[in-house]
């Protein structure tokens, strides 16, 4: 079913943050920071993959994501919904079901055997494709997926995620330079505001997280002085 009504962007952001906190998909640890895939330390970590195990929350957030796309891009803006390997695949399937559209998925690299496919499913010449993923940090992985989609002759001018870090100034311009508009439900700032409002973490942890979000490089430099 295609959702026909939805809260304001502000309320969707607050509710998304609350749901991520409720299922403990959000982790803050200022004492023992997490090491991300880029090798850099951070006191924050979010695991959107965990959402697939919570049906009511999963369904609500997929309604939000579908409504956000229809509101920002239009009800007839797409012909195909593509998920990025691997975290984007279940969310793309759920959004495609809601939008009554075909679903495909994009591998990080060609399969390496058989047809050596990078796109799985049916994607046609001229199809208007929206790329769905769980989250984005600096937008880098999105560009690789978008390029793979465009190689088929399809177009891809939109990507949608549940969670956008919202702390790197270059992300949205970087995507825009590639002809891609980013849509998202909430950012770290929304999560921090909700965590502070509800008292999910102690004040010292929240202060450290806020310092990191405001200037990640300065936060790391303070922890590891030269």
What pLDDT sits at residue 206? Answer: 95
SS3 call for 183: strand
Q: What's the pTM?
A: 0.94
How many domains is the chain partitioned into structurally?
1
End-to-end CA distance of the chain: give it in Å, rounded.
Answer: 56
Q: What is the DSSP letter of 50?
A: G
Q: Is residue 221 in a domain?
A: no
What pLDDT sits at residue 4? Answer: 67
Domain holding 94, by residue range, is 9-214
SS3 call for 116: coil
Q: Is residue 181 in a domain?
A: yes
Under 8 Å CB-to-CB from 11, ≥6 apart: which residues? none
H or E stretch at 130: strand 128-136
Long-range contacts of 8-12 (CB under 8 A, 24+ apart): 9/68, 12/64, 12/67, 12/68, 12/185, 12/186
Q: Is residue 222 in a domain?
A: no
Nearest to 168 by CA among 191, 139, 193: 139
Q: Is residue 223 in a domain?
A: no
Q: What is the largest CA-CA distance in the chain?
A: 56
What pLDDT sits at residue 112? Answer: 61
pLDDT digits (tens, 9 = 90+) for 76-129: 999 999 999 999 999 999 999 999 999 999 999 886 665 668 999 999 999 999
Q: Is residue 220 in a domain?
A: no
Round to whole Å and give the CA distance between 180 and 71.
Answer: 16
CATH number assigned to the domain comprising residue 92:
3.40.50.2020
Cβ neighbours around 100 below 10 Å, total: 8
What pLDDT sits at residue 224? Answer: 77
Mean pLDDT by 10 residues, the chain (226 residues): 80 98 96 85 95 97 96 96 97 97 94 74 96 92 94 97 95 96 98 97 94 93 79
Cβ neighbours around 104 below 10 Å, total: 23
Q: Is residue 226 in a domain?
A: no
| Cross-strand bridge partners of residue 81 | 103, 130
What pLDDT sits at residue 36? Answer: 82
Determine contact, residues 121/106, Cβ cutoff 8 Å: no
| Cross-strand bridge partners of residue 130 | 81, 158
């Amino acid at each position: 079913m295609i959702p026909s009504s939805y809260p304001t962007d502000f309320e969707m952001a607050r509710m998304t943050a609350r749901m991520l906190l409720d299922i403990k998909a959000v982790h803050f640890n200022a004492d023992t920071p997490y090491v991300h895939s880029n090798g850099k330390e951070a006191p924050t970590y979010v695991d959107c993959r965990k959402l697939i195990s919570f049906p009511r929350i999963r369904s609500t957030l997929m309604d939000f994501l579908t409504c956000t796309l229809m509101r920002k891009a239009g009800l007839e803006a797409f012909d195909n919904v593509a998920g990025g390997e691997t975290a984007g695949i279940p969310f793309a399937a759920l959004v495609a079901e809601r939008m009554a559209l075909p679903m495909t998925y994009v591998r990080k690299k060609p399969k390496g055997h058989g047809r050596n496919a990078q796109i799985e499913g049916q994607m046609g010449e001229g199809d208007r494709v929206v790329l769905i993923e769980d989250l984005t940090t600096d937008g880098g992985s999105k560009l690789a997926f978008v390029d793979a989609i465009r190689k088929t002759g399809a177009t891809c001018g939109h990507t949608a995620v549940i969670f956008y870090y919202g702390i790197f100034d270059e992300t949205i311009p970087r995507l825009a330079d590639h002809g891609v508009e980013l849509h998202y439900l909430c950012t770290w700032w929304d999560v921090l505001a909700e965590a502070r409002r509800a008292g999910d973490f102690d004040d010292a942890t929240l202060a450290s997280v806020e310092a990191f979000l405001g200037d990640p490089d300065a936060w790391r430099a303070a922890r590891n002085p030269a």
